[in-house]
C-alpha cells in the first residue's frame, strides 16, 4: 500500500498522508497558522528540513466537513534495526495545535494506517497537553484504541509552567524573589545577552555543554548547532538560541551560558542549556538567560513557558538532576503532568519476533567481550 494513497474518513473528516517535504505541506502549515492552530516545532517543515537524511518524514492531514484544513501531525519514520524491512513510526508532541475532536480523528486514522501498511512494526505517539481535562480525555481515548503506555517514556511526563498572561512586569513579579533578584543583578555585571549565531562559537557551546553534563553525571549527546542556528533564522518565533556573554572578553571565550527555546504554538519549551563555573563573576548565570527566553515566548504569542521537564528530587537528594529542578522551581511551583509515550503494535507476532531478535543481539553484544577476554586468558 502506497503512503500517498492512504485515505481515511470518519465523523465527517478526511485524513490523508503526505510523504516528504512539499509545497502542499507548507500550504497546510500556513493555513493552520492563519486559523490560530500553529503546529509544534517538530511538526513543521522547517524542522524536518534540518534533520539528518537517515529518516523519512510523513505528514498526516485532517480535513473537516467543509473541506478546510482542520489539523495535522508530523510522523518520523525509521527502519527497524531488529526486523529488517519493517518500519517504526513516531509522532512527537501530539496534541498542541489540534482540537480535541481532531485529535481523536487523527489517532483513529493512525491506527487504521498502521494496520493497513504491512511494513509498520510499531507506532509510537508521545502525547502532550498542559490542560488537565484535555490530557485525561486524550489518554483515555488512546488507550481505548489499543495503545499501551511505554515506561520509561522517551518524553518528559511532568514539567513546571510559567503563565505568560499579563505584562512583563507582572510575569517577573510572579516569580520567586530569588529569581527576580538574580535576573535584575545581571545589569550590575559586565555581561550582555545576544543570540548565538557565529559558527566560531559552536565549539564553545559544546565545551560548556560537556561541563554541564559532567556536573550531573550525564553524557553529552551532542547538538548540531549549525542546524539549530539555521532554524532560528528560518523560524524566529519558533526557535531561539541565546547566550550570556562577557562584555570585557571578546570572541567565543566570552560565552558563559546559553539556552535554546522551542516554540510550539501556545507554549515555548526550555530545550537545551548550559553554563560554565570557570568564571570570576559572582553571579548566577542562568537566571537572566531563562528570563530572556520567557520574554521572547511572551512576544511570540505563547501562553505558557514550559521548563522542559522536572524531576521530583532536590539538591539534597540522590537525584542527580535535583539541583537543576530546584533552579527551575525558583521560576514556578506549578508542577503539571503533561506527557506520556504510547505504543501500538498492529502485528503482535512480528513485534514479538523483533523483541526477541533485539534481546538476542543485546546478549551477544554483552557476551562477546567476556568470551574474548576468557580466550586471551
Cell numbers found for residue 290: 531563562
Task: Give CA–CA dist 228/275, Å, rounded.
Answer: 18
CA 64, chain centre distance (Å): 28
pLDDT for res 29: 92
pLDDT for res 125: 98
Burial (CB < 10 A; 0-12, 13-18, 19+), residue 66, is exposed
Domain 159-336: what homologous superfamily? Gcn5-related N-acetyltransferase (GNAT) (3.40.630.30)
Q: Is the pLDDT of residue 301 over 70?
A: yes
Range with the lowest mean pLDDT among 33-37, 41-45, 59-63?
33-37
Task: Give CA–CA dist 175/168, Å, rounded.
Answer: 11
pLDDT band at 2; cut points 50, 70, 90: low
pLDDT in tens, 211-228: 999 988 888 988 999 999
Over pLDDT 90: what percentage of the chain?
A: 69
Range with the lowest mean pLDDT among 57-66, 191-200, 290-299?
57-66
pLDDT band at 364; cut points 50, 70, 90: very low
Cell numbers found for residue 254: 566570552
pLDDT in tens, 44-63: 999 988 877 656 889 999 99
Cell numbers found for residue 376: 586471551
pLDDT for res 4: 64
DSSP symbol at 40: P
Top pLDDT among 360 and 314 is at 314
Show Cβ contacts of residue 220 under 8 Å, excluding neighbours closer than 6 positions: 206, 209, 210, 213
pLDDT for res 371: 46
Average pLDDT over residues 75-83: 84
Q: Is the pLDDT of residue 369 over 60?
A: no
DSSP symbol at 286: H
Cell numbers found for residue 28: 497546510
Q: DSSP letter string over 289-346?
A: HHHHHHHHHHHTT-SEEE-S---S--TTSS-TTHHHHHHHHTT---EEE-EEEEEE-S
Q: Is the pLDDT of residue 326 over 60?
A: yes
Question: Is CATH 3.40.630.30 the classification given to domain 3-149?
Answer: yes
Average pLDDT over residues 58-83: 89
Range with the lowest mean pLDDT among 34-38, 39-43, 167-171?
34-38
Q: Is the pLDDT of residue 123 over 60?
A: yes
pLDDT in tens, 4-21: 678 899 889 999 999 988
* Three-state secondary structure call for residue 187: helix
**Long-range contacts (CB closer than 8 Å, 24 or more residues apart) made by 348-354:** 350/83, 350/86, 350/121, 351/121, 351/122, 353/83, 354/80, 354/82, 354/83, 354/86, 354/121, 354/122
pLDDT for res 375: 45
Distances (CA, A) of 298 to 174, 237, 294: 14, 10, 6
pLDDT for res 376: 47
CA 310, chain centre distance (Å): 14
pLDDT for res 377: 45
pLDDT for res 347: 82
pLDDT for res 59: 94
Range with the lowest mean pLDDT among 5-14, 17-26, 180-189, 348-357?
348-357
Average pLDDT over residues 89-106: 93
Domain borders along the chain are 3-149, 159-336
Bridge partners (DSSP) of residue 158 are 337
Q: Is the pLDDT of residue 27 over 90?
A: yes
pLDDT in tens, 134-183: 999 999 999 999 999 999 999 999 999 999 999 999 999 999 999 999 99
Task: Give CA–CA dist 357/354, Å, rounded.
Answer: 5
pLDDT for res 36: 84
Task: Give CA–CA dist 17/73, Å, rounded.
Answer: 10
Average per-residue pLDDT for the chain:
89
pTM for the whole thing?
A: 0.88
pLDDT for res 235: 93
Selection from 56, 49, 40 nearest residue 88 by Cα: 56
Domains 3-149 and 159-336 share a fold: yes
* Three-state secondary structure call for residue 2: coil
Over pLDDT 70: what percentage of the chain?
A: 89
pLDDT band at 107; cut points 50, 70, 90: very high
Amino acid at each position: 500500500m502506497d503512503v500517498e494513497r492512504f485515505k481515511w474518513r470518519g465523523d465527517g473528516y478526511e485524513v490523508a498522508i503526505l510523504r516528504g517535504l512539499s509545497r502542499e505541506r507548507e500550504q497546510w502549515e500556513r493555513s493552520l497558522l492563519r486559523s490560530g492552530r500553529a503546529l509544534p516545532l517538530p511538526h513543521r517543515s522547517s524542522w524536518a528540513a534540518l534533520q539528518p537524511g537517515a529518516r523519512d518524514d510523513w505528514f498526516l492531514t485532517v480535513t473537516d466537513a467543509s473541506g478546510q484544513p482542520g489539523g495535522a501531525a508530523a510522523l518520523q519514520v525509521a527502519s527497524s534495526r531488529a526486523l529488517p524491512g519493517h518500519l517504526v513510526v513516531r509522532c512527537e508532541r501530539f496534541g498542541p495545535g489540534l482540537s480535541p475532536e481532531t485529535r481523536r480523528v487523527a489517532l483513529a486514522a493512525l491506527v487504521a494506517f498502521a494496520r493497513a501498511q504491512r511494513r509498520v512494526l510499531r507506532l509510537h505517539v508521545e502525547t502532550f497537553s498542559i490542560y488537565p481535562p484535555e490530557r485525561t480525555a486524550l489518554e483515555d481515548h488512546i488507550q481505548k484504541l489499543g495503545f499501551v503506555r511505554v515506561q520509561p517514556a522517551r518524553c518528559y511526563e511532568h514539567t513546571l509552567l510559567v503563565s505568560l498572561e499579563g505584562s512583563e512586569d507582572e510575569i517577573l513579579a510572579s516569580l520567586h524573589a530569588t529569581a527576580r533578584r538574580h535576573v535584575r543583578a545581571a545589569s550590575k555585571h559586565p555581561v550582555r545577552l545576544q543570540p548565538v549565531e557565529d559558527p566560531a562559537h559552536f565549539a564553545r557551546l559544546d565545551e560548556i555543554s560537556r561541563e554541564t553534563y559532567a556536573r550531573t553525571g550525564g553524557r553529552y549527546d551532542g547538538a548540531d548547532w549549525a542546524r539549530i542556528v539555521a532554524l532560528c533564522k528560518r523560524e524566529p518565533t519558533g526557535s531561539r538560541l541565546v547566550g550570556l556573554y562577557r562584555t570585557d572578553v571578546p570572541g567565543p571565550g566570552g560565552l558563559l551560558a546559553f539556552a535554546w527555546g522551542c516554540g510550539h504554538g501556545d507554549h515555548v519549551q526550555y530545550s537545551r542549556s548550559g553554563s560554565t563555573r570557570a568564571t570570576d563573576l559572582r553571579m548566577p548565570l542562568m537566571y537572566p538567560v531563562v528570563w530572556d527566553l520567557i520574554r521572547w515566548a511572551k512576544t511570540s504569542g505563547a501562553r505558557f513557558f514550559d521548563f522542559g521537564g522536572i524531576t521530583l528530587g532536590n539538591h539534597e537528594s540522590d537525584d542527580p538532576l535535583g539541583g537543576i529542578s530546584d533552579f527551575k522551581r525558583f521560576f514556578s511551583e506549578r508542577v503539571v503532568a503533561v506527557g506520556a509515550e504510547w505504543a501500538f503494535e498492529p502485528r503482535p507476532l512480528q513485534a514479538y519476533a523483533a523483541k526477541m531478535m533485539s534481546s538476542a543481539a543485546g546478549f551477544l553484544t554483552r557476551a562477546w567481550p567476556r568470551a574474548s577476554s576468557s580466550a586471551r586468558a
